[in-house]
Structures are given as structure tokens and as C-alpha cells.
Amino acid sequence: MDNKFPKDFLWGASTSAYQVEGAATSYGKKLSQQDVINKDSYEKFGFATAEIASDEYHHYKEDVALMKEMGFKAYRFSIAWSRVFPDGTGPVNEEGIQYYRDLIDELKANDIEPIVTLYHYDLPMALVDKYDGWISREVVKDFEYYARYIINEFKDKVKYWTTINEQSIIVQFIEQKCYIPEKYKGNNQIRYQINHHMNLAHAIACKLVHELVPNGLVGAAIGYAPVYPLTSKPEV
């Protein structure tokens, strides 16, 4: 029995934009909801903000060199929606999209497969202010606008795509992963509304990858947290 991994197995690592990039409000980027949530967590609990993080924005070449040294064959990273479209829609921020062009080119030059995640918790705060973010169905249309641009931009360089990172975790820990305006606090029903809108956004992104990317592969990054019942008694 052959216990070896196949030669084309993609060993690597994964990050999210707000956890590593830094430059949270620089080079045209505006706040995401995760920037706001992290700052609030810092003020309440002393957790780190996302303002600097690992500063990958300024050190991506060094980071990719370390990936190559470690033998990475793939790097899954997310694109910050608010870096590319600071207001969620409208004109593209050229400085922002250029960063991702440079990162992908650097990965390819080092034989590391780029795997792009379209959404990893960081909705542009402008859309929360405009219509309450994922709570509104309008976000689906704006997500399509963003996703179509990104997928079309990198369709010839990126084969592998993920849509929404750990949607189950977003819904499970709703106030840590979505900015919930005060008027909705305590309303447990909105998590199902948010989940529905994310399902629609995921389906749209999958269709776009199949439509635009030659031989593209796409799926969701599934949350891995186990959930256990409080009791095994069926009558309860």
C-alpha cells in the first residue's frame, strides 16, 4: 500500500487579510467591519487590533520567501473587499488591487499556488453604515459586483477559489464576525437572514468562477468547530 501523498498535493497555509496585512486605513483602504470589531475588542478586552497585524502589506516579499523556504506549495489568502472597493462599490482603489497583483505574481514566481478567498469576515464598514451590511439583501448585489471584478481580474493567474470563509462560524458567533447595529442586538432571527444572504452570495461566486476562470475550481471553506447537544435525552 502506497502511503505517500501525491506529488501535486498542495501543502501550505492560510491567512485572512485583516489578520496579516496591516495598513488598515492606508493606501486608499477604508475600514472594514472587522477593523471596527477588533478595535472594540481591544478597548474592552485588550485584544490586538488589525491596524498593523503581521504587516504583510509591506513585507509580502519576505513572507513569500519564508513560505518558499518552508516548502509551501500553496498559500490561501483573502482579499480585503474594503481595500479594493473602499466604499463597497464604485471605483476601484488602484493601490489596493495592485497589492494583490504583486502578491500573486510573487507567489507564482516562487512556484506557490495562490488560492484566493473572496470573503473572510471583513465587509466594508461603508455598507454596514449604508444598509446594515449582511442583514440587508442589497449586500448580495454588491458582493456580486465585487466578486465579478476580482475573479475577472485574476482569472488567468488563479485556478483555485474559495467563496466565504467558515460561514457556519460566522452564523454561530454572529457578533464576533458581523457588525450588528444596536437596534438588532438580541434579535436571534437575524443570523438566519444573514446566513441566507451569504448562501446567495456563495452561489453567485461559484457561478462566476465557472463562467470566467478557465478550468477554475471553487468551493466554500467550511467551519470545523464541533457542536454537541446539551443532553442526549430525545424528549428534551
Tens digit of each residue's pLDDT (9 = 90 or more) over 160-190: 999 999 998 888 888 888 898 999 988 989 9
Whether 4 is covered by a domain: the verdict is no
Q: What count of other Cβ atoms lies within 10 Å of the Cβ of residue 83?
A: 27
* Amino acid of residue 130: K
Going by C-beta distance under 8 Å and a sequence separation of 6 or more, which residues neighbour residue 195?
Answer: 167, 170, 171
CATH number at 18 reads 3.20.20.80
Pick the residue with more confidence: 46 or 28? 28
Whether 170 is covered by a domain: the verdict is yes
Q: What count of other Cβ atoms lies within 10 Å of the Cβ of residue 65?
A: 13
Whether 176 is covered by a domain: the verdict is yes
pLDDT at 16: 96
The model's pTM is: 0.92
Q: Which tens digits make up the pLDDT trace of 189-209?
A: 999 999 999 999 999 999 999
Whether 187 is covered by a domain: the verdict is yes
Q: Which domain holds residue 142?
A: 12-221
Would you give the DSSP letter of residue 133? G
Whether 233 is covered by a domain: the verdict is no
Which residue has 488589525 as its cell numbers? Answer: 50
Edge-to-edge strand ranges of the sheet holding 12-14: 12-14, 74-78, 113-119, 160-165, 217-221
Residue 100 to residue 218: CA distance in whole angstroms: 19
Write the DSSP assignment of 114-179 as a string of letters.
Answer: EEEEEESS--BHHHHHHH-GGGSTHHHHHHHHHHHHHHHHHTTT--EEEEEETHHHHHHTHHHHS-
Whether 41 is covered by a domain: the verdict is yes
Q: Which tens digits make up the pLDDT trace of 139-160?
A: 999 999 999 999 999 999 999 9
Of 153, 134, 155, the closest CA to residue 202 belongs to 134
Residue 68 to residue 87: CA distance in whole angstroms: 35
Pick the residue with more confidence: 1 or 59? 59
Whether 84 is covered by a domain: the verdict is yes
Number of domains in the chain: 1
Whether 226 is covered by a domain: the verdict is no
